[in-house]
Every structure is written in C-alpha cells, then in structure tokens.
A = this chain, B = another copy of it.
Amino acid sequence: MFSRTVLGALRPQAAKLPQAPLARRHISVYGYTQAKALIYSKYGEPKDVLRLHKHSISAPHATQVNLRMLAAPMNPADVNQIQGVYPSKPPFQSALGNAEPAAVGGNEGAFEVLSTGAGVKNLSKGDWVIMKQTGQGTWRTHAQLDESQLIKIENKDGLTPLQVGTISVNPVTAYRMMRDFCEWDWMRAGEEWMIQNGANSGVGRAAIQFGREWGIKTLNIVRQRKTPEETEALKKELKDLGATVVITEEEMMTGNFRDMVHEYTRQGREPIRLALNCVGGKNATALAKTLAPDSHMVTYGAMSKQPVALPSGLLIFKNLSFDGFWVSKWGDKNPALKENTIKDVLQLTRAGKFHDIPVDNVEWNWNTEGPALSESVQGTLGGYRSGKGVFTFTGGDE
C-alpha cells in the first residue's frame, strides 16, 4: 500500500494521468484502488484529530482480499478510543502511506468483497464480510485484509448492510451478557425477569428482543425525554420490540419503585435474575436492589461516569455477583463462539425477529469532505441522537 505521492514516485506513468478525475471520484488505476480513510495520529476530540486520508490499495496478493465499505456505525467506544481514554488502542502505523503514523477509526462494519488474491479460498467478489476482530479500523471507503481476518456473511440476500454492519458489537454484547452470567431456568420461560438501564441503546434494544424470543421478561429503564409525548413514544417503541415493562429513570427513583417491581413480578413470584447496567451510580444501585438472591449484575458501560456503589449487604446476604463485559476482549478470546453468536442473530434477523436499530445515516461518497465526517463522529456522545450514526459508502463499486 502506498500513498499517492509514493505511488507517483514509484510508477511515473501514474503521475502522467489527468489529475482532475482522480480527485473527483473513485477509480482504479493500473490495478490500484483509490481509497479514503478517517484516520487519527494523536488522541483528542474527533473533530480535532480525525482527518480524511486518501491513499491507494494494490491488487490483492495471495490470501489478501480487497473490500469496499457498505456500512460502518459510530459507537460511543469508537469516540473514547479516539479520545485516548479507551483501554484498547490500535497502534499508530504508516501502512496507508500516511507520513505521520496513524490509526483508522471505527471498530465494526459491513464490507463487500471487490477482488481476491489467488490464495483466497472461501470468499469471492460480491460476498459480504465483517472483521473478525475490533480495532482494525472500519471508517474507510476501502480496505485490504487477509482472508483469515474476515467472517463471511452467509445468505446475505435477506439482509441489509446496516444489519450486518451493526451486528458484531451491540447485539453480541446483549446476547452474551444474557447467556453467560445467569443460568436461566428454561422450564420457567415467561416467569423470569431481566432488568436493564439504557434500554433504548443498541444493546438495550437487542436485549429486549432476545428476551422476547427466549421467554425472559424485561423491565426496561430509559431516561425521560424532553416532552411527555416523546417519552410515551419511546416506551411504545420499545414495547413494540417486545419489552414487558418500560419506565423512566425518574419513575425508578421514586419511593414506590419497590412496590411497582413487586407488582410486575407477581408479588416477587417471578424473580429478577439479571441486571444489565450501562449507566452506573445510583441508577445501577437501584437496579441491583430489585434482584432476587443469587442473581447477577453485568456492567458494560458507565454513561453517568459514576462508579457502581454496592451496599455490602447485597453482596454478602443476597449473594449477588457483579461482573463486567467487554465485547472486544471477549471476542478475541472466543472467536468461534462470537461467529456462532453472529450467525444466530443474523438468522433471527432474516426471520424478521430482530429489528433494525434507529439510524442516523451519514452518507459518505467519494466527494464527502473530511470535516463533515469528523463532525458526525463528534456527535456520537451527544446524548439524545435520533439513532445510531452509521456511515454508508455510496461509491467505489468498480
């Protein structure tokens, strides 16, 4: 892989081509694919440190695969990574011909195979793939990766790029937290509960739908919206997905939350056995207090930036367990299980049982300027976004 400058130096004939078309749209030149990537060379706010870097990708050799991005979301963790406050830090490299070593932003996305090296066995042009691991950089029009780093999406015809591009972080997080920390009594389907905060997040919505499919009732906490109408609309939206109960954080913090829970759970006959926490602070403590003895709380986020405060009695006398879940690390340790989890969720998706998250689509074409893309990333942590920000690349099919 070479930068345009190096490319020009190595292959003088390339420099003789007319420059205008090259700059205005994506084309292949002498087997090289023109590409752009959102990269950062230092940590900071996305709007300050992200820049659009143009480079070219050689024809794939051996087991290499050339890819075109279809859809790549902006997750909060992606922003934390750019800010330098996320423990997983992709190394800064110069592999894209960039003068200053840099990393490509983004951790998940759907890609289409454009071409394959002679040694590639299970992928061919037109296939859809996702990256096996996070940290590879997905905010880019094109990429060249080894076949071993890719998961092929089978039966893609029943799926959309958005569904495939947002499957490997949020739905996998919800799925594994619900399956790996709590031994549900499957004979009691419909009589056991899960409670979660941040219920309208990508993870929350996935958990609601798995609960509906698996017979686990869900008690869902969301933040109050700006108007009562918006709050009611959100509650209805989550109920339509399969939520058993949806209440606001404000309702949870009132004195009679205990009575409300008692009623939902048929006077405690239906135990709440799992709590999923992405908020922390008092919200998390309130969740923990609803749990039946011997239950689990799993923390996967900390939106309130407050620590989880655990009254010792809950630990000692109720025998509650508190764990965390980090999908990146889990996926690296359990690649086969991750792939199976993804397949299972995609199967639910094809069957119409797993619905798309609300999306704030950010179209990325060959002429999109860097600052527009960076601003979109910056908005990810803003709070009340209408949906998850997702880049969709609309060019580069040739």
Contacts and interface: CB of A to CB of B under 8 A. Distances in A.
A326 interface: yes
Identify which of A310, A318, A319 gathers the most chain B CB atoms within 10 Å of its CB: A310
B312 A301 contact: yes
Interface in A73-120: 87
Contacts of A323: 315, 319-322
Classify the interface of chain A: helix, strand, loop or mixed: mixed
A310 B326 contact: no
Contacts of A315: 299, 308, 322-324
Contacts of A310: 299, 307-310, 322
A316 interface: yes
A322 B322 contact: yes
A317 interface: yes
Nearest to A299: B315
Contact of A312 (B314, B321, B324, B329): B324
A300 interface: yes
B324 A317 contact: yes
Contacts of A308: 309-310, 312, 315
Contact of A316 (B300, B312, B317): B300
B321 A316 contact: no
A309 B285 CA distance: 10
Interface in A286-340: 299-302, 307-326, 329
Nearest to A87: B317
A280 interface: yes
Interface in A361-380: none
Interface residues of A, number: 28
A324 B322 CA distance: 9
Identify which of A309, A320, A322 gathers the most chain B CB atoms within 10 Å of its CB: A322
Contacts of A300: 316
B326 A319 contact: yes
Identify which of A314, A318, A319 gathers the most chain B CB atoms within 10 Å of its CB: A319
Given A322-B323, A324-B319, A329-B319, A309 B309 contact: yes
A318 B324 CA distance: 8
Given A312-B280, A312-B302, A317 B326 contact: yes
A90 to B, nearest CB: 15
A233 to B, nearest CB: 30
Nearest 8 interchain pairs by C-beta: A315-B324, A302-B312, A316-B324, A322-B322, A299-B315, A307-B309, A87-B317, A308-B310
Interface of A: 87, 280, 285, 299-302, 307-326, 329
Given A308-B310, A319-B323, 20 more contacts: A280-B312, A299-B315, A299-B316, A300-B316, A301-B316, A302-B316, A307-B309, A307-B310, A307-B311, A308-B315, A309-B309, A310-B310, A310-B322, A315-B322, A316-B324, A316-B326, A317-B324, A319-B324, A321-B321, A321-B323
25 contacts: A87-B317, A280-B312, A299-B310, A299-B312, A300-B316, A301-B316, A307-B309, A307-B310, A307-B311, A308-B309, A312-B324, A315-B322, A315-B324, A316-B324, A316-B325, A316-B326, A317-B329, A319-B326, A320-B323, A320-B324, A321-B321, A321-B322, A321-B323, A322-B322, A322-B323
